[in-house]
Amino acid sequence: MKRFMIIVAIFAALFLCFSQVQVLAADIGLAKKSTVETILKRGELRVGFESGYMPFEMTDKKGNFVGFDIDMAKEMAKAMGVKFVPVNTAWDGIIPALTTNKFDIIMSGMTITQERNLKINFADPYIIVGQTILLAKKHLGVVNSYKDLNDKKYTVTSKLGTTGEQAVKRLIPKANYKSFETEPEAALEVVNGKADAFVYDLPYCVVFNAQQGKGKLIFLDKPFTFEPLAWAINKGDPDFMNWLNNFLRQVKNDGRYDRIYNKWIKGTGWIKDIQQ
């Protein structure tokens, strides 16, 4: 009996060892398939975004891509020791472009939503924003929040396929809603008297109001939604996700994040250099 128990113990130990080897091999195999390895071998970090979302990704008068996300992407490429490659992509096709490997990561002021999270994975949020309102001046004192716009007599605009559009449809369903391909088109509809309000992310509304809203718009700047923005990658890549979250933690604590934030989010000196 004693001998039998020893044999059983030996086989159990061998089985456990074999299982651990299998798990280790699987982990190594997964690591080799990581986007991180592909980026390092290629020597390039390909970043997907749609230029035009102030102050995150824009085109300056020289034709260069600039903005908060662009500077963060350049810091990321520098940390990897690779070249930063911008891939300007239409918003409505940006997730399919990621999933078909047209680029490695989306860095485009993308809000984490449960619907998007079914298709892609998000790193930890790098900034929290929310929807705000640029209101036609004629409604001063009459419309004080999004709730006051929930009436069929008001026309509200936003950009197609964004959380601004979702917020209008969910929280202001009675208003007449008009969607546009770009943020400026939607906001200018209010400036030109063709709509009553533009709903969009706080940072964009801050910049647009400073550029074109003076004397024409009322800025209701208290966000009425909670929207964490994050970088997005393909599913099934824990090594890349681990690297991104550690990179974000590092830049938020060594001064780089604050420098970029102060330049693009707090500052407005860059506006004069941006294409109109």
Q: How far apart are CA 65 and CA 84, in angstroms?
A: 11
The predicted-structure confidence for 52-111, as pLDDT tens digits, reads as follows: 999 999 999 999 999 999 999 999 999 999 999 999 999 999 999 999 999 999 999 999
pLDDT value of residue 210:
87
CA distances from 40 to 115, 120, 232 (A): 31, 22, 19
Phi, psi for 226 (deg, rounded to 5): -110, 115
CA–CA separation, 84 and 169 (whole Å): 37
CB 156 within 8 A of CB 196: yes
Strand runs labelled E in 42-112: 44-49, 58-59, 65-66, 83-88, 105-106
For 21, phi then psi, to 5°, come to: -65, -40
Helices 238-253 and 35-42, packing angle to 10 deg: 70
- Indicate the helix (H) or strand (E) that contains 26: helix 2-32
- pLDDT of amino acid 24: 42
Q: Distances from the Cα of 213 to the Cαs of 114, 191, 196, 234, 274, in angstroms? A: 33, 7, 13, 39, 17
How far, rounded to the nearest angstrom, does the alpha carbon of residue 229 sit from its chain's CA centroid? 5
Return the CATH architecture of domain 36-128+228-273.
3-Layer(aba) Sandwich (3.40)
Which residues, given as ranges, of the chain have pLDDT below 50? 21, 23-26
**pLDDT at position 17:** 54
Residues 6+ apart with CB under 8 A from 133: 143, 145, 146, 149, 197, 198, 199, 205, 219, 220
Strand-pairing partners, residue 220, are 133
Q: How far apart are CA 210 and CA 225, in angstroms?
A: 22
Q: What per-residue confidence (pLDDT) applies to 7?
A: 58
The percent of residues above 70 in pLDDT, for the chain, comes to 88
Token couple for 127: 């900034």
Give the CATH superfamily of 131-225.
Answer: Periplasmic binding protein-like II (3.40.190.10)
* Residue range(s) occupied by CATH 3.40.190.10 in the chain: 36-128+228-273, 131-225
Distances (CA, A) of 190 to 162, 182, 199, 227, 249: 18, 14, 10, 24, 40
pTM: 0.78
* pLDDT of amino acid 266: 83
